[in-house]
Amino acid sequence: MGLRYPPVYRRGTKQGEGGDRISILEISVQCEGEMPLGVYLRTRAGISAHMLRRLKAVPDGMTRNGALIRSIDAVRSGDRILLHYPEAATQTPNPALTVPVVYESAQIMVCDKPAGMPVHPSMLHRGDTLANWFAAAYPASGFHLINRLDRNTSGLCMIAKTAYAANALRGSVQKRYFALTAPGLSGKGTVDAPIGRAGDSVMTRCIRADGRAAVTHYRVIRQTPHCTLLELIPETGRTHQIRVHMAHIGFPLLGDDLYGGDCTRMQAHALHCGCLCFPEPLTGEMQTVTAPLRPEMRAILKGSL
C-alpha to C-alpha distance for 276 and 147, rounded to whole angstroms: 10
Quote the distance between the C-alpha of residue 73 and its chain's center: 35
Q: Which of 20, 60, 112, 150 is catalytic?
A: 150
Residue 150 has pLDDT above 90, yes or no: yes
pTM over 0.85: no
DSSP state of 57: H
- What are the C-alpha distances in Å from 98 to residues 107, 110, 135, 167, 287? 21, 14, 12, 27, 24
3-state secondary structure of 197: strand
Residue 128 bears catalytic tag: no
C-alpha to C-alpha distance for 26 and 303, rounded to whole angstroms: 54
Q: What is the per-residue pLDDT across 77-113, written as a single tens digit (0 to 9) for each? A: 999 999 887 776 668 999 999 999 999 998 899 999 9
In this structure, the chain runs to a length of 305
In the chain, the percentage of residues whose pLDDT exceeds 90 is 66
Counting Cα atoms < 13 Å in the Cβ hemisphere of 296 gives 18
Counting Cα atoms < 13 Å in the Cβ hemisphere of 27 gives 27
In the chain, the percentage of residues whose pLDDT exceeds 70 is 91
C-alpha to C-alpha distance for 214 and 66, rounded to whole angstroms: 49
For 48, counting Cβ atoms within 10 Å of its Cβ (0-12 exposed, 13-18 middle, 19+ buried), the class is: middle
Q: What is the per-residue pLDDT across 182-238, written as a single tens digit (0 to 9) for each? A: 999 999 999 999 999 998 888 999 999 999 999 999 999 999 998 999 999 999 999
Quote the distance between the C-alpha of residue 135 and its chain's center: 16
C-alpha to C-alpha distance for 198 and 159, rounded to whole angstroms: 30
Q: What is the per-residue pLDDT across 39-92, written as a single tens digit (0 to 9) for each? A: 999 888 878 888 888 888 888 889 999 999 999 999 999 999 998 877 766 689
Residue 4 has pLDDT above 60, yes or no: no
Q: What is the per-residue pLDDT across 205-221, written as a single tens digit (0 to 9) for each? A: 999 999 999 999 999 99
Band of pLDDT at residue 13, cut at 50, 70 and 90: low
